[in-house]
């Protein structure tokens, strides 16, 4: 039965990686394989020789001697445990996404455009590189990429020039998301899973992440694509900003940034702080939206964004639910493999057979090569299931350098292919960037940045 479950997982995983070839959204195979894996576990509960206690992170002794009722009860408790941990991530993301959409409702991100007051291609590259790096740490790399490419489309009119900027924005956004607990889904998973803390993430990963962004941007600034000036856009062609745009931008970003601070003082789960931030931002949004609005939002009704609808209801309707459902499916599917002890056994064999490189990590001594391969793997396949698997494979304590290296590697490694990260995929869709164009022109820059950051981390971890 274990072999069948592994086969279902592999086939589902393959369908996720071939999303663009199959023309099937990755949330579908994620949900299907999750449901089938748990159904097979329920049907064959008596045939499994071992069970993994996720709460204590250890195999349960004498599981084979348990009665069917005891095994079923334990399975239900385990599933509920994993659902709770997954729900924490999902609710957190729902709150963050809603705040970002509220900011966008008031055209808050147009404020960022005022920072760009030059026509030099090289200066614009550096401006957008640093904007992507720091903005992704606050509103996550996916959203930062969408926002900056949208602004870029209003500044750089030539698409052939713009896709070069988009490529470097992907690298910078992924690098910026790695050192912040709210900057990337995988880092958020490690943070909520109590594997890393905010202060240690910054100490360990800020410099490696910064160099992961700066080095590729520095090299790219000498390329022909960034020589000269851009064609300036005619004045008066932009729509006027909402009068509350700047206030809502700073209020929304401030609310998101306050979440780690809230967690530090109260020791409550991060999603509680995010719901508080959402409540405060939503209150101001309703007050500032001084129009009459309906209490419900009809998505099929073709009305202006600033019509008679509540800004909060409108923002909730704009949330990308397919991504939320994908996280639900993939995290619970990985939880199925973890519960059977498959990931635990795989990690043990991996650590025994993989050659050690560089400084050994604490406890099991996980090889640096394993983590680097995880980064390369995140460029080929989705980094969410890779990090979810690592949570079940390794048992190092909170803030062990292994977790920080995984956060960096999985977060930045995806930049090496345009399909390797959510930021890359959304940029690919917004600018119709060709896979092989990115592979030829941007991938080598991302690889250099990834390796420079990795070497920096290996050095700095010996200091802290």
Q: Are 188 and 93 in contact (CB under 8 A)?
A: yes
Q: Do residues 409 and 370 lie in contact, with contact meaning Cβ atoms separated by under 8 Å?
A: no
Cα–Cα distance measured from residue 449 to residue 213, given in angstroms and rounded to the nearest whole number: 6
Give the whole-angstrom CA distance, residue 118 versus residue 95: 35
308 with 291: CB under 8 angstroms?
Answer: yes
Section 21-47 average pLDDT:
88
Q: Which pLDDT value is given to residue 447?
A: 94
What is the torsional sign of CA 24, 30, 35, 40?
A: positive
Confidence of residue 164 (pLDDT cuts 50, 70, 90): very high
| SS3 assignment, position 229 | strand
pLDDT at residue 88, rounded to an integer:
85
Query: What does the pLDDT read at residue 235?
Result: 46
User: How high is the pLDDT of residue 93?
Assistant: 80
For the stretch 95-118, pLDDT in tens is 888 888 898 888 887 777 777 777
Q: Residue 205 in contact with residue 178, Cβ under 8 Å?
A: yes
Confidence of residue 378 (pLDDT cuts 50, 70, 90): confident
Mean pLDDT of the chain: 82
Dihedral sign computed on CA atoms, order 364, 368, 369, 370? positive
For the stretch 304-325, pLDDT in tens is 445 556 888 888 888 878 878 8
In tens, the pLDDT along 270-297 reads: 889 989 999 999 999 988 886 544 455 4
Burial 422-447 (b: 16+ CB within 10 A, else e): bbbbbbbebbebeeeebeebbbebbb
- The distance between the two most distant Cα atoms of the chain, rounded to a whole number of Å, is 77
Above 50 in pLDDT, residue 198? yes
| Residue 312: per-residue pLDDT | 87
For the chain, the distance separating the N- and C-terminal CA atoms, rounded to the nearest angstrom, is 46
- The token duo for 198 is 């905010």
């Amino acid at each position: 039965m274990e072999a069948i479950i592994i086969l279902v997982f592999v086939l589902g995983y393959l369908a996720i990686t071939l999303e663009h070839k199959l023309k099937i959204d990755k949330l579908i195979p994620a949900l299907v394989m999750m449901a089938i894996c748990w159904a097979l576990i329920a049907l064959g509960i008596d045939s499994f020789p071992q069970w993994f206690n996720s709460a204590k992170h250890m195999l349960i002794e004498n599981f084979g001697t348990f009665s069917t009722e005891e095994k079923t009860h334990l399975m239900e408790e385990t599933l509920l445990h994993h659902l709770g941990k997954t729900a924490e991530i999902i609710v957190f993301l729902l709150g963050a996404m809603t705040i970002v959409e509220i900011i966008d409702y008031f055209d808050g991100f147009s404020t960022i455009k005022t920072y760009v007051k030059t026509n030099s291609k090289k200066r614009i590259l550096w401006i957008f590189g640093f904007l992507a790096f720091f903005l992704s740490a606050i509103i996550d790399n996916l959203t930062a990429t969408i926002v900056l490419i949208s602004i870029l489309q209003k500044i750089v009119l030539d698409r052939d020039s713009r896709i070069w900027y988009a490529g470097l924005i992907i690298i910078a956004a992924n690098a910026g998301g790695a050192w912040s607990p709210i900057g990337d889904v995988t880092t958020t998973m490690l943070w909520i899973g109590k594997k890393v803390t905010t202060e240690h993430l910054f100490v360990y990963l800020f410099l490696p992440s910064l160099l992961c962004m700066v080095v590729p941007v520095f090299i790219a600034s000498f390329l022909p694509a960034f020589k000269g000036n851009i064609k300036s856009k005619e004045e008066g062609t932009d729509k006027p900003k909402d009068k509350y745009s700047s206030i809502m931008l700073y209020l929304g970003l401030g609310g998101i940034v306050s979440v780690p601070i809230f967690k530090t003082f109260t020791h409550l789960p991060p999603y509680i702080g995010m719901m508080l931030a959402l409540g405060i931002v939503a209150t101001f949004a309703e007050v500032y939206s001084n129009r009459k609005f309906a209490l419900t939002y009809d998505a099929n009704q073709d009305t202006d964004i600033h019509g008679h609808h509540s800004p909060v209801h409108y923002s909730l309707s704009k949330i990308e639910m397919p991504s939320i459902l994908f996280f639900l499916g993939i995290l619970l599917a990985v939880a199925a493999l973890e519960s059977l002890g498959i990931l635990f056994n795989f990690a043990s064999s991996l650590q025994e057979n993989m050659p050690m490189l560089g400084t050994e990590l604490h406890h099991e001594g996980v090889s640096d090569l394993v983590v680097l391969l995880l980064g390369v793997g995140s460029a080929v396949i989705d980094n969410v299931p890779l990090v979810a698997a690592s949570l079940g494979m390794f048992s190092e304590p909170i803030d062990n350098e292994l977790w920080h290296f995984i956060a960096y590697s999985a977060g930045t490694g995806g930049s090496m292919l345009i399909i390797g990260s959510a930021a890359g995929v959304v940029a690919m869709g917004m600018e119709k960037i060709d896979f092989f164009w990115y592979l030829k022109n941007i991938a080598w820059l991302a690889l250099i940045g990834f390796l420079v950051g990795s070497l920096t981390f290996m050095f700095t971890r010996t200091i802290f």
